């Protein structure tokens, strides 16, 4: 069963590359630790030029690079609006970033980490709005 899943995932990844779609780099999930922590850091980003492929790629590449440097991060996911047509759904953002931590203390370390500060400095010129929602597992 495990080999079957790997094969299907590989096929899906190859299909995305062949199609050359935004999904090639926009739906990025990275897991550093197998465990799910209790603290979620959810960020919505509105790029100044949301259709600029170079800016999109820069944002995604920089996000993935800095996340790898912070040991306290369990996992992260970069997504884009699913364009679900419902009145209560906000599809106006360019990217969402969901970061999982064991606890608030690890989140606080992440916030002060030099890699995070450098990311903000390097990419803040690309966005005009950022909205954050932090939550603890109930």
Residue pLDDT, tens place only, 21-62: 333 334 445 776 667 899 999 999 999 999 999 999 999 999
Higher pLDDT, 108 or 6: 108
| pLDDT confidence of residue 1 | 54
Give the number of other CB atoms < 10 A from CB of residue 50.
17
State which residues form the domain around 123: 22-136
Q: Is the sign of the CA dihedral 22, 15, 6, 81 positive or negative?
A: positive
Structural domain includes residue 130: yes
Of 99, 89, 96, nearest to 127 by C-alpha is: 96
Total domains in the fold of the chain: 1
Of 66, 132, 70, 52, nearest to 96 by C-alpha is: 132
| pLDDT confidence of residue 17 | 36
DSSP type of residue 67: H
- Residues 9-16: what's their mean pLDDT? 43
Structural domain includes residue 100: yes
Structural domain includes residue 11: no
| pLDDT confidence of residue 16 | 38
Per the CB < 8 A criterion, the answer to whether 121 and 62 are in contact is no
- Lowest mean pLDDT of 16-20, 32-36, 69-73, name the range: 16-20
Higher pLDDT, 15 or 53: 53
Structural domain includes residue 70: yes
CATH number of the structural domain spanning residue 111: 3.30.70.100
Structural domain includes residue 97: yes
Structural domain includes residue 12: no
Higher pLDDT, 34 or 119: 119
- Residues 117-133: what's their mean pLDDT? 97
- Cα angle 14-59-11, degrees, rounded to a multiple of 5: 10
13 pLDDT more than 60: no
Euclidean distance between CA atoms 91 and 93, whole angstroms: 6
């Amino acid at each position: 069963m495990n080999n079957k899943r790997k094969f299907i995932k590989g096929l899906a990844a190859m299909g995305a590359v062949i199609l050359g779609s935004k999904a090639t780099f926009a739906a990025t999930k990275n897991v550093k630790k197998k465990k799910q922590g209790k603290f979620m850091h959810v960020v919505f980003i509105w790029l100044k030029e949301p259709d600029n492929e170079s800016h999109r790629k820069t944002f995604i590449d920089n996000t993935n690079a800095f996340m790898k440097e912070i040991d306290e991060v369990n996992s992260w996911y970069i997504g884009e609006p699913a364009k679900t047509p419902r009145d209560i759904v906000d599809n106006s953002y360019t990217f969402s970033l969901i970061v999982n931590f064991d606890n608030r203390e690890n989140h606080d370390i992440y916030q002060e980490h030099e890699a995070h500060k450098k990311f903000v400095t390097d990419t803040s010129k690309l966005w005009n709005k950022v909205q954050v929602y932090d939550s603890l597992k109930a």
